[in-house]
Amino acid sequence: MSDLAHVSPARPTGARALLNVAVVVAALGYFVDIYDLVLFGVVRVPSLRALGVAEADLVSQGVSLLNWQMFGLLLGGVAFGVIGDKKGRLHILFGSITLYSLANLANAAVPDLTWYRVCRFVAGVGLAGELGAGVTLVAEILPTRLRGYGTMLVATVGVSGAVVANQVAKAFPWRTSFVVGGALGLVLLLLRVGVHESPMFRGLERTADVSRGNFLSLFTKWSRFRTYLLTIVVGIPTWFVVGILMTFSKEFAQALGVSGPIAPGDAIQYCYLGLVVGDFASGVLSQLWQSRRKVVFLFLVGSVLGTAAYFVLGRGASPGGFLAICFCLGLASGYWAIFVTMGAEQCGTNLRATVATTVPNFVRGAVLLITTGFLAARAAYGIVPAGVGVGVVCLGLALVAALFLRETFGVDLDYLEPT
């Protein structure tokens, strides 16, 4: 992408670096991130019913709230990414978790849909900084040979937050579940006091006349924009699976004739259990094969097969069989760890936080387009054809993008990006 221009002191080496405080805190931060992102899908039906939403409007109002949250993620991703490159990775870690925690506590007291949307939007803005900042910090602190393992741990621990979200929602009322999320964020805020700034960023601060966090520069050079766009497209199927197939699993199961009711929370939990296994497996495979690109392509093919199983084998399935398919879909979608690592490895230190933070959030923000297309197709053709059609588009584009995305395994991250 550019000539190397080393700007930082030596990083810590040794296997024990894998479990340093930055990796642990980044993993716990992503855990809280996923807890909240999944929690809405789990409590969507009971919370909307409690606020007086009619049964026929549960899907449309649920999509509206999800879109507000994802719009917040889009804006927050850009804002926190720029802050991370201009002010430091730690500014994102502290700012994002504070905003998210306060929004979730407020979400527990919403009186109507208007305030529900406001809280989901603000929470989305806050959540936007978590993953990108954590992965950037981990990638810059760990030695190259441990980088993949570090981000694998972050993703594997993080996605288990979905399981906790479902269990908390089953044990407590939906408002209490949001209080738990806010409290978890505040506890994590205290743990972050002991985290140190990335040595690469400290070196960058000592480099004069270097443009930092210039988001628009991602669009001024074709090769850089192309790589940025391909990286985003590769991640979209994961949020098609979570945002459409799992969030609206109750309605899909009914349309497919599943022999018993499916709770969205259970479908999400089984999917994320698969994601835990998938993220671990993809991380290990990436290190063994010394390739990010090959692993991503393999898991995308698995996602195609899993989506086909959802609509074909899911017809008339038992609830247990349907949830098993959800687990397999999560397993096949478990390349998120590799995807976010590739995002962090695409650009130099002066743009890394911007890219690493915006890429996953633009993927999440793509849910706005996915759900809009899904609702339009559902109204015209029905829920199952709509799901199939949207899936074909998302998976098809991702497979093509994976073929053209450059390999980033083992690249030296200690360089500056010309802007």
Per-residue pLDDT tens digits for 333-352: 988 878 888 888 888 888 88
Euclidean distance between CA atoms 57 and 64, whole angstroms: 10
Its pTM stands at: 0.81
> Average pLDDT of 296-316?
95
- Under the banding of pLDDT at 50, 70 and 90, the label for residue 18 is low
Better-scored residue on pLDDT, 294 or 136: 294
Report the CATH number at residue 176.
1.20.1250.20
Domain-embedded: residue 77: yes
Residue 253 has pLDDT above 80, yes or no: yes
Per-residue pLDDT tens digits for 360-413: 888 887 877 888 899 899 999 999 999 999 999 999 999 999 999 888 888 877
Residue 102 has pLDDT above 80, yes or no: yes
Q: Determine the 3-state secondary structure of 94 from DSSP.
A: helix
Q: Determine the 3-state secondary structure of 289 from DSSP.
A: helix
Domain-embedded: residue 6: no
Per-residue pLDDT tens digits for 39-77: 887 888 899 999 998 888 887 888 888 888 888 888 988
**Residue 16: what pLDDT?**
56
**Residue 1: what pLDDT?**
41
- Under the banding of pLDDT at 50, 70 and 90, the label for residue 8 is very low
Distances in whole angstroms, Cα of residue 220 to Cα of each of 228, 253, 413: 12, 46, 22
Residue 227 has pLDDT above 50, yes or no: yes
Euclidean distance between CA atoms 329 and 306, whole angstroms: 5
Q: Rounded mean pLDDT of the chain?
A: 85
Domain-embedded: residue 241: yes
Tokens at 332, concatenated:
């096949």
Angle between helical axes of 89-107 and 58-86 (0-180°, round to 10)? 150
Residue 2 has pLDDT above 50, yes or no: no
DSSP sequence for 58-93: HHHHHHHHHHHHHHHHHHHHHHHHHHHHHT-HHHHH
**Residue 5: what pLDDT?**
42
Domain-embedded: residue 7: no
Q: How many domains does the chain have?
A: 1
Domain-embedded: residue 345: yes
Per-residue pLDDT tens digits for 162-219: 888 888 988 999 999 999 999 998 888 887 777 777 777 777 767 767 777 788 888 8
Domain-embedded: residue 159: yes
Domain-embedded: residue 4: no
By residue range, what is the domain housing residue 101?
Answer: 15-196+218-404
Domain-embedded: residue 364: yes
- Under the banding of pLDDT at 50, 70 and 90, the label for residue 419 is low
**Residue 9: what pLDDT?**
43
